[in-house]
Structure 1
Amino acid sequence: MLAMSLRILTVIGIILLVVTALLLAVILLILFFPVTYDVRGSKCEKELKVTAGARWLFGLLRMKYRYPEPGRVIVKALWFTLYDSGSAGEEKEEKDPGKKAGAREKKGKKKNPSPAVEENADDGGTACTEAARETEGAADCGRREADVVRTETDASTGAVSDFDEEKGSGAAGSILKKFKKIKYTIRNIYDKIREVWENISYYTELLREEDTRQLFAHIWLRLDKILRNIRPRHLRADILFGTGSPDTTGYAYGAYCMVSSALGKGFLVTPDFERAVFQAEFEVSGHITLWVLSVNALKLFLDKRLKAFIRKLKKAKTKKA
């Protein structure tokens, strides 16, 4: 009995060890195996084409995006399609005609209004015809006539009162209202400027503190490592441009020559001094390692100086309130 229990526990331990090893391997693959990406496109006079893709684990998981509109996103794992925005759009288009047909059938089933009601609508509702009296009743027609007369009376009296009010106030009233609005706006702007001025000394002192300076240096260090991780490893571009004016084209080309060494040899720009044109072909590729992103983000999030800085900002906001 004891030997059987030990064997069962041994088998369970081996299974747990294998599952743990598999989970650890998957986590390490996700964190350390890079995700490669590439973006390719071309820009003609009136058309822009872009194709972007990402691959992970030698193409085990792939994603593609195509432009122009309506665009299409495809996500595949091996040869299985996990998501296809094009197929979803086709399904919606197939479902929409059925909905439209159902809506048309419902509209066709609705009863048409009686000719008596149409006559009353054309006449402005001032009188009831004999057909309306027969269908709706004399009491309802009389009530409707009274409502119409009352509405007309109220409208006429309202128009007269509005006319008297406008006549009494005149242009002076409208000028006074505009002056009050301007005064209210100026007062709000003044209050906001005063609040900022009262707290500007607090913010300047906060930025001059040694902990704040060290925090900004730490943030810049982490952002620099993240940007180095996601930056393109390969960049190629062939651009033909012209503004339509030789002088402005020359100025733009001179600015490009000043930064051309930083862009690399794959970035080629050709000016056209005779016409306004912009044509380009580009290709960008690189890879992203999730381990670098997660470690730098975690170190920045756990920094005590960041928490203290946020706490001081909140303290300034409470003082302002």
Structure 2
Amino acid sequence: MIHIILAILKIVGILLAVLLGLVLLILLTVLFLPLRYRICAEKHGELKKSTANVSVSWLFGILKVKAGYRNGQISFVPQIFGKKIDFAKKNTGQTEDSSEEAENNETKNCETEKTEDVSEEKKPLPVLEEKTKPDPKPSPKTETQENRASKSETQDGEMSELQAEDAAEPEKRHRFFNIIEKVRMQIEKIRNRILTAKEQAKKTIRSITKSKETLKRYLDFLRSDLSREVYQILKNHLFYLLRHIRPHKIKGYVHYGFGDPALTGEFTGILYLILPAKCEELDLEPDFEDQVCEGEVLALGHIRICHLALTGAKIFFDKKLKIYWKRFRQLRRA
């Protein structure tokens, strides 16, 4: 019985050791196996006519991603074991099915419209009957009645005009008082607008003074000794990453210029700091007079995840950076 239990424990231990070994192997491959990249760019004249190709491979070329820019169009092709993965095929199939359904629906709608038009044409049109009536001739009795009615209308009109004049006097008074009330309301509105403008000006002055105080606090914080130390730490980490990420081989030539001699000289110095020492096959041609950017470049390099992980861990566990972050949060809350 004991032998059986020991054998089971032995098998479980072997399985756990194998699993741990696999996990360690995967972890080591992710950390130390380099991610290789190849950059090829060419520019002469306009940006639309330029070309650029970038390929990134990992795990001895099993996983590869290619991206390119040509004639103003961007291409992106992932590969596994050298075979392309096309995501567009599924989308094209779905679009073809939807287009066929749309065409069928359109044909059905056209057939129904045709049948409706034919049925409307077959309907009988209504016949209009015209009835002619004889024009009545005026009689002498009606003429006398019209004269009497016109006389009575003139008398009624004169009476109504007198009544309207009597009724117009209170209406004129009412209109006069309405005009005075409207003028008073307009004056009140202008006074309220002036008061609101004064309050708004006071608020803007307060906000400007407050923003000045906050800006002064931020500037004092950035000029402190702790900020300088943190800047130096981050600068060292950045240069460490650039040493391991920058390409180890570069070919070609670059003809560049910003139109400003000082800016062109500063950019040239930065390039010589970033580029590796063994960069004899790359020709830098700075132009200190004109604004130019053209050339052909081929760059090869690799990136290891272990360098990124190490830099991230150093930044995360740095005490000065933690203190700096706490003080910055306190400054934001204040």
TM-score, structure 1 length as denominator?
0.61
Q: How does 1:302-313 map to 2 (within 5 A)?
A: 302-313=317-328
Q: 1:79 to 1:236 in 2, by over 3 A?
A: closer
Given that 2:253 and 2:285 are in contact with CA atoms closer than 8 Å, whether structure 1 keeps it comes out as yes
Q: Deviations over 1:138-191 (max 9, x none)?
A: xxxxxxxxxxxxxxxxxxxxxxxxxxxxxx9xxxxxxxxxx9999999777655
Hey, what does 2:248 align to over in structure 1? Answer: 233
Unaligned runs of 5+ in 1: 116-129, 131-167, 169-178
Hey, what does 2:75 align to over in structure 1? Answer: 72
Given that 1:212 and 1:305 are in contact with CA atoms closer than 8 Å, whether structure 2 keeps it comes out as no
**Counterpart residue identity of residue 303, structure 1:** D
Hey, what does 2:99 align to over in structure 1? Answer: 100
Q: Deviations over 1:222-266 (max 9, x none)?
A: 1221222212222233346899xxxx6xx77x9479938926541
Tell me whether 1:259 sits opposite 2:258 in the alignment: no
Whole-Å separation in 2 of the counterparts to 1:183 and 1:105: 68
Q: Deviations over 1:257-292 (max 9, x none)?
A: 993892654124498x9x998653211221111111
Hey, what does 2:7 align to over in structure 1? Answer: 7
Alignment identity in percent?
A: 22
Report the alpha carbon displacement of residue 78 of structure 1 after superposing the two structures with TM.
2.7
Pick one of 58, 61, 64 that aligns with 1:59.
61
Corresponding residue pairs, total = 250
Hey, what does 1:21 align to over in structure 2? Answer: 21
Unaligned runs of 5+ in 2: 118-125, 127-182, 184-193
Whole-Å separation in 2 of the counterparts to 1:226 and 1:37: 16
Q: Deviations over 1:276-317 (max 9, x none)?
A: 986532112211111111111121122233233233223223
CA RMSD between the two structures = 4.3
Q: Deviations over 1:166-219 (max 9, x none)?
A: xx9xxxxxxxxxx99999997776554322211234334433444333222222
Given that 1:235 and 1:267 are in contact with CA atoms closer than 8 Å, whether structure 2 keeps it comes out as no
Whole-Å separation in 2 of the counterparts to 1:241 and 1:214: 35
Structure 2 SS opposite 1:74: strand
Whole-Å separation in 2 of the counterparts to 1:33 and 1:297: 18
Q: 1:269 to 1:184 in 2, by over 3 A?
A: farther
Q: Deviations over 1:65-84 (max 9, x none)?
A: 22236533233333455xx3
Report the alpha carbon displacement of residue 9 of structure 1 after superposing the two structures with TM.
0.9
Hey, what does 2:122 align to over in structure 1? Answer: none
Structure 2 SS opposite 1:47: coil
Whole-Å separation in 2 of the counterparts to 1:194 and 1:305: 32
Structure 1 SS opposite 2:87: helix
Given that 2:257 and 2:264 are in contact with CA atoms closer than 8 Å, whether structure 1 keeps it comes out as no
Q: 1:105 to 1:276 in 2, by over 3 A?
A: farther
Whole-Å separation in 2 of the counterparts to 1:213 and 1:109: 74
Whole-Å separation in 1 of the counterparts to 2:41 and 2:64: 19
Hey, what does 1:121 align to over in structure 2? Answer: none
Whole-Å separation in 1 of the counterparts to 2:81 and 2:14: 30
TM-score, structure 2 length as denominator?
0.59
Q: How does 1:158-197 map to 2 (within 5 A)?
A: 190-197=205-212
Stretches of 4+ aligned residues off by more than 4 angstroms: 179-192, 239-243, 254-258, 275-279
